[in-house]
Structure 1
Amino acid sequence: MKIRLDCIVCFMRQALKASRLSTSDKKIQEKVLRSVMEELLKLDWSSTPPELAHRVHSVVKQVTGVKDPYREVKRMSNDYALKLLPRLKKIIEESVDPLETAARLAIAGNVIDFAVYDDLQVEETMMKVLNQDFAINDYEAFREKTLESKNLLFFADNAGEIVFDKALIETMIEARSKPYDRITYVVKGRPILNDATLEDVEYVNLTSLSNISFETILSEENVDYDKSTGKISR
């Protein structure tokens, strides 16, 4: 995945939002934007978006002194999703096909912005995803792999969403009637935006799943996405 010109504009918006989450001082916010612009001008735009995002958010942290601008946003998202978890489990347990329902709810978790959605928007999104047809439906292949595979590799996305992931993984294990030999759950190795980190998986108790281990990508030491994921795939 290579950079498009639209990505550069998006990076500036991300930098502004992160600076506002970090401080109310407009002079520091302005310094963040100026510093990010300078950094972007120096960087190779043929790099991948994750690599440039790493540099952009490193600048934000250096200027503001705040390591994780989205920490409170992520905590709120996780708390909101954890509050929903009993309802998610009830919907899954009472459905005709619990595995498909859990997969659909995980998709809803990917769509929902827990930091800004109210209760009604969350409910509407869940019901829409539960009832609409998939544009591309690979469920039967997914079910087959769920039942026959010995190991599971799962890439996390955002805080809050990982609670929906947990419900899905638990349902996958129940559908198999036995645990996986190994579950590898992959998160970011450093705070960036509202992406899940090890702190988040511990907070929502993903560590309670049987035979689960955690790997990280895009750490402070390694910002090469291909190298990070290549290590995990091996």
Structure 2
Amino acid sequence: MKMDPRCTYCLLSRVHYEAELATDDKDKIYRAITECMDVMRNTYKPGVAAGVVSTAVHRKAYEIIENNDPYYNLKELSNSTAQKVYPAAKDLIYQNEPSLKEAFRRAILAAVIGNYFDFGVMGFDVGEDVFDETFMNVFYKGLDVDDTSEMFKMLDNVVYVADNCGEIILDTFVFDLIKKTGGNITLVVRGEPILTDVTMADVRQLNLEDKVDRVLTTGCNAIGVAFDEAPQELLEAFDKASLIISKGMANYETLSERKMGPIAYLLQTKCESVAQDMGLEKGYSVAKLMR
């Protein structure tokens, strides 16, 4: 996905948000915003990929605020909130003893709802105090784009590119269903902390290694996947996958820039730029397969 003019003010809003998470030093916050504006001015050109700009901007912000994980407490909060809703979500997925195909569809829906965990997105906020209610409402509403039937045929060798903490706990329902079909799962997480995204440290803390066949990282703290910084092992995994499952908007912004597939995008369209690029409406619950 290419950078959209609307991304500029959303990105700077996010810089302001994370700077205030890290410090109450007004001068440092001012510096973070102004220097990130300079980075954006130098990187945002017609046709440039959104991930290139956002990665450069957030790296500069982290440098200025002198904190490589300003979202740490929010990541912990997201995980604890997801753990509270987990038992009810499991009951819904396996209610009335569904077929594997139907249980997979429900698990995908639960994982997509988990994508609501995304603190700092301008104009979008689902607090931990209402997430359980939000989960139930969206679950009963269902997916707005539902390609799960086609996805279900492609589960032999899945590469699952994770997004945020919190939602990763709900992603485990999908892992379980893929394993029940006899499929193999490679989980991909960030190489270093960035926003609320899952890292290897989170994988170990949540014992996710037991849920999948192997875990790889993106090799760095880029937004989404920076292919020029990605380990060769990850690139080979993408090439050999029967299906790539991509969680969240940042992964969409970067993976959609590269010819690869089949790839299933699981996300909430939380902004107009991503929704428009996908040919959808803002506010959709999406499980969209692209070949």
Q: TM-score, normalised by structure 1?
A: 0.84
Higher Cα radius of gyration = 1
Question: Does residue 131 of the first structure (1) align with residue 140 of the second (2)?
Answer: yes
Instruction: Indicate conservation of the 8 Å contact 1:162/1:201, yes or no.
Output: no
Q: Equivalent pairs: percent with the same residue?
A: 26
Match in the other structure for 1:108 = 113
Picking from 202, 205, 208, the partner of 1:206 is 208
Match in the other structure for 2:273 = none
Instruction: Indicate conservation of the 8 Å contact 1:16/1:29, yes or no.
Output: yes
Instruction: Indicate conservation of the 8 Å contact 2:162/2:188, yes or no.
Output: yes
Partners of 2:147 and 2:221 in 1: CA distance: 36
Match in the other structure for 2:269 = none
Partners of 1:88 and 1:62 in 2: CA distance: 39
Deviations 1:56-84 (A, max 9, x none): 11111211111111111111111221232
Question: Does residue 117 of the first structure (1) align with residue 127 of the second (2)?
Answer: yes
Instruction: Indicate conservation of the 8 Å contact 1:158/1:195, yes or no.
Output: yes
Mapping 1:130-149, distance limit 5 Å:
130-146=139-155, 149=156
Aligned-pair Cα RMSD in Å: 2.6
Instruction: Indicate conservation of the 8 Å contact 1:19/1:29, yes or no.
Output: yes
Mapping 1:42-191, distance limit 5 Å:
42-45=42-45, 46-95=47-96, 96=98, 97-113=102-118, 116-119=126-129, 121-146=130-155, 149=156, 151-174=157-180, 176=181, 178=182, 180=183, 182-191=184-193
Consecutive unaligned residues of structure 2, counting only runs of 5 or more, are: 120-124, 240-291
Q: TM-score, normalised by structure 2?
A: 0.69
Match in the other structure for 2:281 = none
**Bigger helix fraction:** 1
Match in the other structure for 1:233 = 238
Instruction: Indicate conservation of the 8 Å contact 1:112/1:125, yes or no.
Output: no
Match in the other structure for 2:272 = none
Aligned residues, how many? Answer: 225
Match in the other structure for 2:195 = 193
Consecutive unaligned residues of structure 1, counting only runs of 5 or more, are: none
Q: CA deviation at 1:86?
A: 2.5
Instruction: Indicate conservation of the 8 Å contact 1:152/1:184, yes or no.
Output: yes
Partners of 1:191 and 1:99 in 2: CA distance: 30
Q: Single out whichever of 94-103 and 1-10 deviates more from structure 2.
A: 94-103
